[in-house]
Structure 1
């Protein structure tokens, strides 16, 4: 297949409905991006600077923050630039790069959430062997696996898209996604759509199975605990369950409207729903995990209220529940 493209830029038409209030939207997206960077950087910094917080769950929370800054950086600065652009066009090369960034962010997010579910399983079901089972070497291997998995799996599929020759140049969204590139191909390229549906389970099923099995085991163990211990176990799982549900809802929004005809829904609504899977986790997750670390709360109090008394012992999301 000819690797050359007749189209050098794509027009993102979703911005046309925002022209009247583009400056206000620019400020909104700027504040959202600033909040995502500041909140995630704060969580990473506090955990990094305090060795007593170097528990596996906190490390995974930091990896989640790194991935969320990666995803929001691939999305929000480009949106701000296109909002104040006159043509709302992006080069074909940047569009292709953004597709890779956003899809690998999405895969990486689910992989990390699966590891966090596994961490809760080990902490609650095998508390006496938690630090042995979640050793530093094992954590490093799990993090490397989570990082490489989405890069390799999507990279293999994305190599098919890179071979396409584009004739269309219209993308009815605020950013580039793989399916929209396929729709603009000169040939039918139905095999790529089929490959996309075939590879989607690799992005979802292994992680989903790990999460379901982890919480099934947790539920079985909790059924044998006292009510007080059950509440304690549940509290350590709430941040992860919230993050998982929040991200899953956002991903469903994006998958449904990319694959199905959603023209009966307003452009503004479709645009908001398409951004949810990147923006909301990037802002809510560091808040959820930060509130679970006592030192972060103390740091915020010191920053805004000149609170100077540190606790003798710092809490952690990695607290293990005894049987």
Structure 2
């Protein structure tokens, strides 16, 4: 027990079996990260530059893309470095920071998707009061809390993890996760169980709220062709994005608890698929953004 407080680094063992494919994986990972930056940054810049896109739905989408860059920044640089290194370790503080950023990014995804569902609900079900409800001031407040709540909840979870007395330093993964660090604790504590349980319940509530709102939206839109067209154009991409995030998160949770032969893919797909799919889905599906991007590309060619 004398050594439990002197752990300064963690060993990551997720890359131990890929020595022969290190260069190929590095190239593919770097390419994937560049594409993630390209598609997300394209949406962010397009929304910021074009004043016609300064509407609630596009502002929320801009934050969703920014969150994709925020979350992936905690994984890809370290992972790329590890692919070229023979030792796969991370400092204690770095491990906590990585876990905090990755978890808070996932939670912020859920918060922003809830805001987008609320925006679509008001726009379709209560169009007469849409502009009075979705004012600039209210949008700023909603976005602020969509970032603040995940950061606060994950900060509390990280603090709980940081004060644990650890009896090990081996993490069987390619990046740090609070749940795996908690498993290294010398003894059980109520806080390490209660806080994660509250966080999971809180964001499961987010998902249920969004799906409930879409059941109501579908019922409302069936009576009007215009509303149904609006639903198909703006709501289907959002629903698809939510499904991707939920499935990615569930796969990740299942891997952590039960393991898998596809462990490296399942461990990383939530930092690959949502950051890639969200901007691509909205970029192609939302007419205003698609036309703006195509207009910029065509103008540069001329």
The TM-score normalised by the length of structure 2 is: 0.92
Match of 2:276 among 278, 283, 287: 283
Residue correspondence of structure 1 range 35-54 to structure 2 within 5 A: 35-54=35-54
- State how many pairs are aligned: 298
SS of the residue corresponding to residue 74 of structure 2 reads helix
C-alpha separation between the residues in 2 aligned to 1:27 and 1:208?
Answer: 35
Output one character per residue of 1:199-252: Cα deviation in whole Å (capped at 9) or x when no partner: 2334413422431332132123113223x5423322221110111111111000
C-alpha separation between the residues in 1 aligned to 2:253 and 2:130?
Answer: 37
Instruction: Name structure 2 gaps, 5 residues minimum.
Output: none
C-alpha separation between the residues in 2 aligned to 1:171 and 1:222?
Answer: 49
C-alpha separation between the residues in 2 aligned to 1:177 and 1:45?
Answer: 31
The TM-score normalised by the length of structure 1 is: 0.87
Please report how far the alpha carbon of residue 198 of structure 1 lies from its aligned counterpart in structure 2 after TM superposition. Answer: 2.1
Please report how far the alpha carbon of residue 45 of structure 1 lies from its aligned counterpart in structure 2 after TM superposition. Answer: 0.7
* 2:297 paired residue number: 300
CA contact (8 A) 2:157 2:196 kept: no
* 2:249 paired residue number: 251
SS of the residue corresponding to residue 10 of structure 1 reads strand
* 1:217 paired residue number: 216
C-alpha separation between the residues in 2 aligned to 1:178 and 1:203?
Answer: 17
* 2:240 paired residue number: 242
Instruction: Name structure 1 gaps, 5 residues minimum.
Output: 309-323
The alpha-carbon distance between structure 1 residues 195 and 229, as it changes in their structure 2 partners (threshold 3 A), is closer
CA contact (8 A) 2:74 2:101 kept: yes
Please report how far the alpha carbon of residue 129 of structure 1 lies from its aligned counterpart in structure 2 after TM superposition. Answer: 2.1
SS of the residue corresponding to residue 74 of structure 1 reads coil
* 2:147 paired residue number: 147
Please report how far the alpha carbon of residue 4 of structure 1 lies from its aligned counterpart in structure 2 after TM superposition. Answer: 7.4
**Higher mean displacement: 139-148 or 149-158:** 149-158
* 1:25 paired residue number: 25
CA contact (8 A) 2:43 2:279 kept: yes
CA contact (8 A) 1:6 1:166 kept: no
Output one character per residue of 1:125-175: Cα deviation in whole Å (capped at 9) or x when no partner: 112222221110110010001000101112222221110122211111110
* 1:170 paired residue number: 170
The Cα RMSD (Å) is: 2.0
Matched, 1:272 2:259: no
The alpha-carbon distance between structure 1 residues 168 and 89, as it changes in their structure 2 partners (threshold 3 A), is same
